Structure 1
């Protein structure tokens, strides 16, 4: 297994509740997130979304397909959505939102490891390309969300990848 810990920040000139609503409605993400080809719901979850399970299918800028399920395990409206990933990658994804004046700062934390043997082998050899690929997809997400919400994207940045011990 190859492990990744990736952090992205977006700053959108939109109310936090509006940004949260768009992120919570992940079935509509393919409408605005270039590279996300499909989201299918497997389980609805409770009234807050806890337990909701959806399959995400991505087509990367490098041309490979990535497929995983996300099960929502924590929601704190309008500031947090956390899910557990399983499939081609396994781990956690966490959206954290913070109001900054009339804007919303969105922090996405993606801490996963590869599951399939082919992906583990490729990602060990091509780690910089995998990180680059993630950054491109996240940039597309930031721009797409800003268009979808019809608001300015003030900033989007990727923090240096935090390395942690890889499991073997």
Structure 2
């Protein structure tokens, strides 16, 4: 399996609470995030969302889709949201939230391994392309979130 450690940063001129709510409500991501094709709830989790499980299908800029399940493993409201993923990707994703001078900063850390044989086989040559693809999907997510919140997304 090929490992990836990727970080994305979004700066959105919107209240922290609104940004948190939009990201926390992952079932609604397909409405505003072009890369999210489908989200299926599998388990609810507790009142905070801890333990919730979903199956997500992502479409990328490149001509392939990835499907994996995520389970929420940590919830610190307005600060951190973490989940473990299994399926065509395996690993951990963490959303970190902060707010300063009217801008909410969201950092997403993605530490995953690919499990699809063709991706692992191509990884030595295609890694830069896979990373570019991830960055493009995440960039569109930040732009989609800014549009949803009718907010300005300062350039990175």
- TM norm. shorter chain > 0.5: yes
Unaligned runs of 5+ in 2: none
Distance 2:148 2:126 in 1: 33
- Number of the residue aligned with 1:163: none
In the TM superposition, what is the alpha-carbon distance from 1:128 to its structure 2 partner? 0.6
Q: Which residue of 1 aligns with 2:117?
A: 117
- Aligned equivalent of 2:136: 136
Tell me the secondary structure at the aligned position of residue 154 of structure 1: coil
For 1:50, the equivalent position in structure 2 comes to: 50
Q: Give structure 1 regions of 4+ aligned residues with deviation exceeding 6 angstroms.
A: none
Query: For this pair of structures, how many residues does the alignment match?
Result: 156
Counterpart secondary structure, 1:61 = coil
Question: How far apart in 2 are the matches of 1:6 and 1:30?
Answer: 22
Name the SS for the 2:62 alignment partner: coil
2:68 is matched with 68
Long gaps (5+) in structure 1: 157-168
Distance 1:105 1:155 in 2: 12
**How far off is 1:125 after superposition?**
2.5
Offset of 1:17 from its aligned partner? 1.0
- Paired residue for 2:30? 30
CA distance in 2, matches of 1:135, 1:65: 15
Q: TM-score of the superposition, structure 1-length normalised?
A: 0.90
Tell me how far apart the structure 2 counterparts of residues 20 and 155 of structure 1 sit (CA, whole Å): 20
Q: Distance in 1 between matches of 2:53 and 2:125?
A: 31
- Residue 70 (structure 1) shift: 0.8
TM-score for the superposition, normalised by structure 2:
0.97
